[in-house]
Amino acid sequence: MYVTGVSGGDLASLGTLMLLFLVPWVLGRLVYERTRRSHAFAALAAQATAESAERERAAVTQERLTIGRELQDIIAHNVSVMVVQAGGARRLLGSEPDRARESILTIEQVGRDALAEMRRLLGLLRKDDDPRALSPQPGLEQLPELARTLRDTGLACELHVEGEPIALTPGIDLVGYRVIETALETAVAAQCKHASATIRYEQRRLELEIRGEGPLRDAGDAMRAVTERVELYGGELDVLPAAERDEFALRCRLPLEGVLSA
């Protein structure tokens, strides 16, 4: 009986044939796996971007609703002042015409302010789906109370006033307060221990500067919502380069074209 053997040449041919099929298969699997992972990472990045954009849109929408409610409060307050002043002018018209004239001039100024706030409101909101009861709105005079509240959270805050204070329109007064409030609350969230807020009254501009110890990470993102509020009044809000590495600095400038005379 004879056994047919496999020659060395046949083994070499078989090995070569296997390599011809195996190497491309291995390379193909590597390329496929790399492509799959690349697509997976791209999908995750796209999802993260979409979620971030959605959170940003939600924050802006919520801030717009808040601004709208607050502007309504300001307009209602101005109209109430106009009604009171008009009643006083009517009573004084015959006996004290000079005082009646002062009341009428006040009505004119307050009416212009109310119209300006109304234009801002109509430009910001297309409709009012969330009416709220009227409530007093804060202003720069309430900053000491805010500082005391934040002190209980561990943030020591100093307030400074430069220049001669003037009577601001309710809208500007509220915006200034919100800028400082948001900046200081962001500092609290970043576990900062010390901060200062400076209010500068200039001839045609109100300038706010907030500085603090400790890095304020993503300050631009934290202030994005209130930035729209500032821009609504023709102002600008900037993150300034800090003098030291472990500091933060923000500056807000608001024009005072429509302020009330003191």
Q: What is the pLDDT of residues 149-193, one digit of tens each?
A: 999 888 999 999 999 988 888 889 989 999 999 999 888 888 888
Domain edges within the chain: 63-124, 140-255
* Residue among 232, 233, 237 at smallest CA distance from 209: 237
CATH topology of domain 140-255: Heat Shock Protein 90 (3.30.565)
234-243: Cβ within 8 A, 24+ apart: 235/175, 237/179, 242/211
pLDDT score at 259: 44
What's the pTM? 0.54
Q: How many CA atoms lie within 13 A of 5 on its CB side?
A: 3
pLDDT tens for 17-44 read 666 777 677 777 788 788 888 878 787 8
Q: What does the angle CA 73 – CA 78 – CA 82 come to, to the nearest 5 degrees?
A: 145
Contact 210, 249 (CB under 8 A): yes
Q: How many CA atoms lie within 13 A of 8 on its CB side?
A: 0
Q: How confident is the model at residue 236 (pLDDT cuts 50, 70, 90)?
A: very high
